[in-house]
Amino acid sequence: MKRKNKTIPSLLTVTCIVLLISFSSCKKQLDINSDPSNPDNVEAALWLPHIETSMAVDVGFDARYLGRYEQFFQYYGGSTTWDLMGYDLNSDNGGYLWRMLYFDMGQNLNMMLDNAAKAKQWDYVGVGKALWAWGWLICTDYFGPLAVKLQGNASPSVTEYDYDPQEYVYQTVFALCDTALAYLNRTDGGVSQSNLSRGDLMYNGDRSKWIKFVYGLKARAMQSLSNKSAKYYNADSVIAWVNKSFTDNTDNAQVPFLDQSSTNANFLSPTRGNFPSYRQSAFIVQLMDSTVFGVQDPRISKMLVTDMSGAYRGATPNAGDTGYSSNGGAWRLKNLYNVNGNSATQSNPGQYVFAHVPFPIMTYAELQFCKAEAAYKKGDMATALAAYTAGIKGHMVFCGLKTTDPAPAAYLSNPDAVPADPNDLTLSMIMCQKFIALWGHGYVEAWTDLRKYHYTDIDPKTGEQVFVNFTPPNPLYTNNLSKLVYRVRPRYHSEYDWNFKAIQKIGADKLDYHTQEMWFSQP
């Protein structure tokens, strides 16, 4: 960026003016801000792969911490700050999504949009707007207030900036989605699937799938507001948007990886080896081993691992994996996330999303459960049951199962898992099945659901917890002051170090800021 001093001309400016009288090439020769080896005008196709990759990798970085809040998994020893719904003070742990939004996407995405607009590549513009919407949504659900207004007007002269409230961030998400749809539906100018496919890792340039993605994003955002009044939430809109979104697993939004080395592998895969100390939770085991639904889920062998005795066991926040011992023990959980188990005699090449597979950003199953919840809330039980069943079937296929095989078919016909009468469907069934479908990859979305129901809310229809058997840690992290976690603190090094006045305005200087309830979860 070229900078101009508007008050006192620099010596270079004066010299250049004089020389312009004699040399028309003065500006070209004296432009110290231009580097011919690194051109300023980079085509959109070269920006997009990095941006899409960062979506998956950066979610993976923070998954190691967030996964313990929502009890996807726990640290084998238990009682760490994150297992106890706390945080690491003066640390960037848990702050990678902030980095993703403002750095890995950030100006890279703005520059991609600027280049695409100049080239009239409206498909790239539509994709860019959709990615901004996704970024704002996932990060506001994670952090709360964000600096949205600044992002479109970033300037080197701005060193301090205020955060915009979550309500404004949500408004921005919906507006960006509508703008994205307008551009993605254009066919004029430089719109070209072959050109978009050069940069698009997720959908290989298929605009029709991007359009479905945007409708799915709108449905996800709207369903997150289901505690709100009609001013913000409309169940009919959720159902309509899901109907315009994914039709099956072939539409899933996923980021592929070469998985040749730690530099180009799925963050969850054994190639990266990022999860050697984490164990599947007791909560997810109970959702699948017949404790909650009364019948063992056929997906359990595809998603979870057994201990050395062949039993499905899970860790808890305070106790962790109590049977773990580096020197042996009565039982051990196989290492769920790494290429090897806890014993040299065990070998697990990785399975489910922890294998050499693409990282899911949004799935057909998730959206069907959004539809089921929306229909349930408006009292359309037939639509709710149909979407609920479709969500389970879709996730079974996602796990590599055939719904017509004996075990999946038996599960689908068991009234404890899939009721025959729509009026027997409960909110607990919908949300627990959605948690299963999100487990391992839908980190922020599953946490949003848990917070929306305040972790332990009661299903008024059944009198049981919405998330059956979810038990918060006891005791909680000291700084929680006996309150549950609702948000992650802003990134330490870029916010507490450099933008502390804005931190104080939103109360993030308080040690229990992370326990303040989110706007989206409040009535």
Complete domains list, the chain, with CATH: 9-40 (no CATH), 44-484 (1.25.40.390)
Q: Could you read off the pLDDT of 40-94 as tens digits, one per residue?
A: 678 999 999 999 999 999 999 999 999 999 999 999 888 999 999 999 999 999 9
Query: Distance between CA atoms of 90 and 162, rounded to whole angstroms?
Result: 21
Counting every residue written for the chain, the total comes to: 523
Instruction: Looking at mean pLDDT, say which of 73-77, 123-127, 304-308, 339-343 comes out highest.
Output: 123-127
**Residues contacting residue 415 through CB under 8 Å, at least 6 positions apart:** 424
pLDDT for the residue numbered 155: 61
Q: 46-63 burial, b if ≥16 CB within 10 A, otherwise e?
A: ebbebbbbbbbbbbbbbb
Query: Distance between CA atoms of 225 and 218, rounded to whole angstroms?
Result: 11
pLDDT greater than 50 at residue 344: no
The helix/strand/coil state of 232 is coil
pLDDT for the residue numbered 14: 31
pLDDT for the residue numbered 115: 97
The helix/strand/coil state of 448 is helix
pLDDT for the residue numbered 227: 97
8 Å CB contact between 388 and 372:
yes
pLDDT greater than 70 at residue 231: yes
pLDDT for the residue numbered 76: 84
Q: Which has the higher per-residue pLDDT, 154 or 239?
A: 239
Q: Which two tokens stand for residue 38?
A: 């690194």
pLDDT greater than 70 at residue 22: no
Q: What is the mean pLDDT of residues 319-339?
A: 53
8 Å CB contact between 367 and 238:
no
Query: Distance between CA atoms of 363 and 255, rounded to whole angstroms?
Result: 12
pLDDT greater than 50 at residue 138: yes
pLDDT for the residue numbered 333: 52
Query: Distance between CA atoms of 1 and 189, rounded to whole angstroms?
Result: 28
8 Å CB contact between 150 and 158:
yes
8 Å CB contact between 165 and 519:
yes
What's this model's pTM, rounded to 2 decimal places?
A: 0.90
Percent of the chain residues past pLDDT 70, beyond the cut: 85
Residue 432 has, within 13 A of its CA and on its CB side, a CA count of 29
> CA separation (Å) from 67 to 88, 173, 389, 395?
15, 25, 26, 20
Over the Cα atoms of the chain, what is R_g? 25
pLDDT greater than 50 at residue 336: no
Q: 422-445 burial, b if ≥16 CB within 10 A, otherwise e?
A: beebbbbbbbbbbbbbbbbbbbbb
323 burial class (0-12, 13-18, 19+ CB within 10 angstroms)?
middle
8 Å CB contact between 447 and 518:
no
Query: Distance between CA atoms of 336 and 411, rounded to whole angstroms?
Result: 25
Q: Could you read off the pLDDT of 151-177 as tens digits, one per residue?
A: 655 566 777 889 999 999 999 999 999
8 Å CB contact between 483 and 477:
no
Q: Could you read off the pLDDT of 361-390 as tens digits, one per residue?
A: 999 999 999 999 999 999 999 999 999 999
351: nearest Cα among 396, 301, 310: 301
pLDDT for the residue numbered 71: 97
pLDDT greater than 70 at residue 311: yes
pLDDT for the residue numbered 461: 86
pLDDT greater than 70 at residue 135: yes
Q: What is the mean pLDDT of residues 197-221?
A: 98
- The phi and psi torsions of 253 (rounded to 5 degrees) equal -85, 115
pLDDT for the residue numbered 28: 45
pLDDT greater than 70 at residue 233: yes
What does pLDDT average to over the chain? 88
